[in-house]
Structure formats: C-alpha cells, structure tokens
Structure 1
Amino acid sequence: MSFQPSFPGLFSPARGAAPVEAEPHTSAAQPATEKQIAYARVLSAKSGAALPDGITADRAALSKWIDAHKAPAPQGRFSNYPSSKQVAFAERIARLKRNPVPPECFRDKTMMSRWIDSNKPR
C-alpha cells in the first residue's frame, strides 16, 4: 500500500502566486550606512553645505546628496590610465593564467577593466 499525499488546489490557476512581501506596494526606505553617513559629514565639513534634516534615514537620498557634493574626478593627462590596483590585479590574473596583459590595456582603464572581467578566474 502506498500513501499518496493530496494537496487540493496546489496547481489550480485561481490560486495565483503568493506575494513575497507582506505589502508589495510600500517600499520602506533603507537607512544609510555608517560609512555613508561618515563620508557625507566629511563632505559637509569640506564644502560648508549642511546635511538636510532626516537625510540619514534614506540611503538613496543620501547617495544623491553625496554625488551632488563630492569633488569631480581629476581630469588630466593620466586620468584615463588604469589605477595601480587595477594593474596589479590584472598582472596577478596574467600570472595565474599564464597569459600576458595586452600592452594597450595599460593605456586605457576601460580596456583594462574589460580584460580583467574576461580573464578573471571563476
């Protein structure tokens, strides 16, 4: 004798999918991280712009404030070159794979990033 469990209505189309969240239409804002708050305070002190009240309660809003108040990336002759950390990581991958990094990657950080993404060990 075999026991066949029955689950009435398990596959009925009227049931539909169960919601993952209790209330899917309300998206509560996540609070900002401690690092985010510390960086925002440093930017506030440097620029003289005060942090808006209650901004630390919303991670996305604080991120937008940081992007608006941080210093732009330096532009110059070597601004498009890969960073020393990027080069070191690429050379470590090259040693592991026994495959040299193409010379043109050392002159363009985007090319270096693409080479790393396509060659990093998985």
Structure 2
Amino acid sequence: MRIILNLIWLVLSGFWLAVGYAVAGIICCVLIVTIPWGLASFRIANYALWPFGRTVVDRPGAGGASLIGNVVWIVVAGIWLAIGHVVTGLALCVTIIGIPLGIANFKMVPVSLMPLGKEIVPAP
C-alpha cells in the first residue's frame, strides 16, 4: 500500500515539492552562510519524494545552534512553507482518494517549520 500511495503522491505533488525544496537547497548552499539550511532543505526534498513509510524524529544531540537556526528559518521561510503544506493538505482532503495525501502533507508541516535537528527514519 505504501508503494501505491508513494506513486500517487509523486505524481500529484511530491515531485514539485521535491523540486522546490531542492532549488531552495541549491540557493542556500550557494550562499555560504546558509549551508545548514540548504542541507536541511535537501533532506526535506528527499522526504517529499517518498513520505509514506518514513517519519521525522528529533536528532539526539541537537543543541542550541539548531534552536537558533530554526528560529531564523521560521521567520525567513518556515511559516510560508507550513502554510503552503496546510493549504495543499486541505485541498487534497477534498476527495476520498486524496485524504491520505493530505495527511502526508500535514505530516510535513513540523519539518518544514523547524528542519534543523531533525532526522528522517523508516517508520516502524
């Protein structure tokens, strides 16, 4: 079932989300100071391609630098990304087939808000 949901997700929204996050990651890596956000953006892009069967957990040992980086990220981009995921999730939930995809979009809100100090792992 996860493979089918991932394929539907990839066609309907996952590819474009991944492209958007990858472009943001490239831009952040070109600007040397923002490389940590660029790497986090690449992780989110990978997660946006295949969200079913994976989950986001806090990375052990993430400290104060991650907290400060996340505050900066929320102000610069995180709030807009989270709003985009919520709006897209609501739009996907209009149909019965889109409900799991909408839930996957809602699942991406926390990592789009605060990507530093997070790790994407296989779901149990």
Question: Quick check: which has more Rg, 1 or 2?
Answer: 1
TM-score by length of 2: 0.23
Higher strand share: 2
Greater relative contact order (Cα 8 A, min sep 6): structure 1 or 2?
2
Give the TM-score, by structure 1 length: 0.24
